Amino acid sequence: MVTVDQLKSIQSNVQAVATKLGLLTEVLTDDELGKFADSFERQFILAYPEREIVDIYMRHLPEILMGGMIAKKQMSAEIDGEQPAAGKVGGPIPIRACYMGIGDDWEDGGASITTGSPQRWIHSGTTLMGGTVGNAIKIGENQVVVIVGYISRHPSPKLESAKFTIDGKPKPILILAQSKLPDSLHIKEFNNAYIGKHDTTLYAEIFASATHGTTVTDIPELLGASFIKEDQLRVHDAASVPGTTPDVVLTT
């Protein structure tokens, strides 16, 4: 169980780290920490019977809490859990595919993936985003996202690796071999989370071997948490999420 006292202790360390990194944060009150703890428990601990997934989220709890502290400062509003009141920030909540510009759901990012060379996954040119193919997406003012890992929802995963580029800086390739092991949970935990705040740009590619044929189907999904302003959380249709008006995810 995650407690307010535990989060308060973590928050002190997180604030010191954020200061060293030059990140703008705001400390959460005891009431906000209580809402954070309740939301985190329900969605990232109680929701998963698999102890391994729970352990991943617990290991990255400080980074997810940092995301909440960044979101409070960025959006000038209180963190208010999964079902926030008007004008407040919802979170931590799971990452919807549309918050990353993928599509209506994560399945939209894994149909007919060409094999033998890196293929675009998260970018401005998806059908949902409608921007320039190959350009990064940009996180809007009404979102902070904390990405802690990768999971395939396909019963027979085919992706061999993934590569992220954050703010124009290519990151080391992530080998997804573990996610293809028989009887595994098809998960790849990141050593360090990727935190996307206002104006962060993000681009990701995926790779599958031509051994499987000319195309494969997979369901690549991000593990992590989002913090979204309450009025944007009322947007149900994924097609209405991208763009300057909701200011959640934008093209570049």
In degrees, rounded to 5, the angle at the alpha carbon of residue 202 between the alpha carbons of residues 201 and 203 is 130
pLDDT for 184 equals 83
DSSP H or E segment with residue 230: helix 230-233
pLDDT at 180 over 90: no
- What are phi and psi for residue 66, nearest 5 degrees? -60, -40
pLDDT for 71 equals 98
pLDDT at 245 over 80: yes
In degrees, rounded to 5, the angle at the alpha carbon of residue 249 between the alpha carbons of residues 36 and 37 is 5
Lookup: tokens for 90:
């919802």
Number of domains into which the chain is organized: 1
Chain segment 64-84, per-residue pLDDT in tens: 999 999 999 999 999 999 999
Q: Which domain holds residue 32?
A: 4-251
DSSP labels for 162-192?
EEEEETTEEPPPEE-GGGGSTTS--EEEEEE
Chain segment 193-208, per-residue pLDDT in tens: 999 999 999 999 999 9
